[in-house]
Every structure is written in structure tokens, then in C-alpha cells.
Structure 1
Amino acid sequence: MDTLIRVTDAVKSFRETRLSALRTPQEFFDVNRISRPADLNTATSRISYNTRYFSGNYGLIIAILAIYAVISNPLLLISLAFLVGGFVAVNKFGADPLISDRGITQKTLYTVLFCVGLPLLWWSSPLGTFFWLVGASGVLIVGHACMIEPGIESEYATVQDAV
């Protein structure tokens, strides 16, 4: 019951902090504000402002790409399910020795889980998936942040920071 309360509090905290920063799709995909930056300074200032302004949307993009990456790599999905399921099963059922007093203990079960699960995880290429996720989200986020002109409210952001 205590775990359920902590999970509920974590979800509420996430909703209040990250989901409140989400901008509407009409604002995020506003084609009227798309233009090529004039120079590197303009691109840098757009990226700086838009990454803060659209941080919730960019976080959602990263989450969607991460889910896609895990689903599209079935071996990675199987190895993650094996490791997580193994941890849950060992924690739930492995507290007492299974065979007599010196039989299969929880430590032995964790050792077997690591000896089978870690090579399976390594074979499923999680580093390749991670670097694909970093590259794909970086290109999408920097491309969007660079091409979208900041709104009028960006002019007042510097005034509010000075006060």
C-alpha cells in the first residue's frame, strides 16, 4: 500500500512539473512561424529559447522515440522483460532456500539471472539503440528549435529576467 502511494505521488509530481509544460499541437506545429535562421547567432538564440519553451513537448518526443526503439528491437524487449521479470520473481519467491537448507538461495538465483540476462542484454545491442535514440531525438529537437521563430512573448522574457 505504501508503494502505491509513492507511485501515485510520483505520477502527480510528474504531471504537475512536466505535463504542465506541454504546449498545444497548434503552437508546436505552427507553420506560420517556420523560417530559416539568418545566421548562427539567430539559430543559437532560437535553440536556446525554444528548448526551454517547448521542453515538455521535446520530452514527449524523446519518450515516444524510446518506446518505438524498444518495441522495434524485439530482442531488447525480450531481454528487458527477462531481467525485470527475473528481479520481480526472485524478490517475490526467492526469499527462502528452495531445496533443503543449503539449496538454491536468493544469491544463487541472482547469479543465474545475471549470467543469463546480461549476455542476452548485451547481444540485443542496447548501446546501438541508445545512440540511435540520442541521434534521432537530437536531430528532431535541434531541427525544430532552430526553424521555429520565437513568439512575441520571447521579447518580454529578457525584461522579466532583469526585474
Structure 2
Amino acid sequence: MEHITRVNDIVKHFRETRLNNLRPASEFFNHRQLSRPADLNQATERISYNTRYFAGNYGILIAMLAVYALITNVWLLFAIGFLFGGFTAINRFVTEPIEIAGSVVTPKGLYMSLFVIGIPLLWFAAPLSTLFWIVGASLFCILFHASLLEPGLESEYSNIQDTV
């Protein structure tokens, strides 16, 4: 029961800190504010402002790309499910040594068997290439969007608020 309340607290904290910064989709996808930056300096200023302003939206974008990467990499999804499912099953059902076909099997032996099978399966699923794809796709989408979207009027007054 403690784990459930802890997870609820984490989700509540995440919702309060990250999801409060979500901007409406009409503002995030406002095609009227799209323009090519004049130079690298302007692109850098836009990226700096937009990454802070749309941080919650970009977080959702990264999460969606991660879910897409997991769904499309069936081997990785299977390997993660196998390892977490095996770990959960051993924790829940095998708390002390059991006897199977005349031999004693300990939870430690089951964990070793799980990792001997699961780690090569995970290696075969190429999690690092999936991680690098998520990072690369996220960087491309975020930098592309942030550099093309002109900041709103409130960005002109952000420097004044900082100095006061």
C-alpha cells in the first residue's frame, strides 16, 4: 500500500510541476507565428525562449516519441516485459526456496536464470540504438519547432520583469 501512495505522490508532483507548464495546442501549433529566422543569433534566441516557454509540451513530445519507439521495437518491449515480469513473479511467488523435481530452487537461482536469459535478450533488442533514436528525434523536433516559431509579445517584456 505504501508503494501506491508513493506512486500517487510522484504523479501528483509531476502533474503540479511539469503539466502546469503545458501550453494549449493552438498556441503550440500556431502556424501564423512560423517564420524562418534571419540569422543564427535570432535562431538561438528563439530556441532559448521557446524551450523554456514550451518545456511541458516538449516533455510530452519526448514521451510520445519514447512510446512510439517502444511500440515499434517489439524485441525491446518483449525483453523489458520479460525482465520486469520475471522479477515481479519471483518477488511475489517465490519468497523462500522451493523443491521442483527433486532439486531445491532458491530465489537467488531464479534471479540468476532470469538475468542469464534476459540480459542477452535485452542486448539483442538493441536498447542503446533505440535510446539514441529517441534523443536524436527529440532534438530534431524540438530544435526545428523552437527555431521556427516566433516568440509572442510576452517575450519582449520578459527581460523587463527579470530586471525589476
TM-score, length-scaled by structure 1? 0.96
Deviates more, 1:64-73 or 1:153-162: 153-162
Q: After the TM superposition, which segments of 4 or more aligned residues of structure 1 sit over 3 Å from their partners?
A: none
Structure 1 residue 59, shift from structure 2 partner? 0.4
In structure 2, what is the Cα distance between the partners aligned to 1:5 and 1:128? 35
C-alpha distance in structure 2 between counterparts of 1:98 and 1:123, whole Å: 31
1:14-93 residue pairs with structure 2 within 5 A?
A: 14-93=14-93
- State whether structure 2 residue 127 is matched by structure 1 residue 126: yes
Give the Cα separation in 2 of the matches to 1:24 and 1:140: 18
Return the alpha-carbon distance in structure 1 between the equivalents of residues 162 and 114 of structure 2.
53
- Residue-by-residue CA offset, 1:123-160 (whole Å, 9 max, x unaligned): 01111111111111111000000000011111111112
Q: Which amino acid aligns with 1:156?
A: Y
Q: CA deviation at 1:4?
A: 1.3
Q: Distance in 2 between matches of 1:98 and 1:45?
A: 64
Indicate the RMSD between aligned Cα atoms, in angstroms.
1.2
AA matched with 2:134: L
The separation in 1 between residues aligned to 2:138 and 2:53, in whole angstroms, is 17
Q: What SS does structure 1 have at the residue aligned with 2:115?
A: helix
Partners in 2 of 1:157 and 1:98 — Cα distance? 66
Matched, 1:113 2:114: yes
Secondary structure (helix, strand or coil) at the match of 2:104 reads coil
Residue 107 of structure 1 deviates from its aligned partner by 1.1
Amino acid corresponding to residue 95 of structure 1 in structure 2: T
Structure 2 gaps, min length 5: none
1:98 Cα offset (Å): 1.0
Could you say which residue in structure 1 is the equivalent of 2:163?
162
Count of residue pairs the alignment pairs up:
162
Q: CA deviation at 1:91?
A: 1.0
Specify the alignment match of 2:139 in structure 1.
138
Distance across 1 between alignment mates of 2:124 and 2:23: 39
Code of the aligned partner of 2:15:
R
In structure 2, what residue type is equivalent to 1:133?
Answer: I
Which residue number corresponds to residue 94 of structure 2?
94
Alignment partner of 1:11 is 2:18: no
TM-score normalized with structure 2 length:
0.95
Paired letter, 1:139 = F
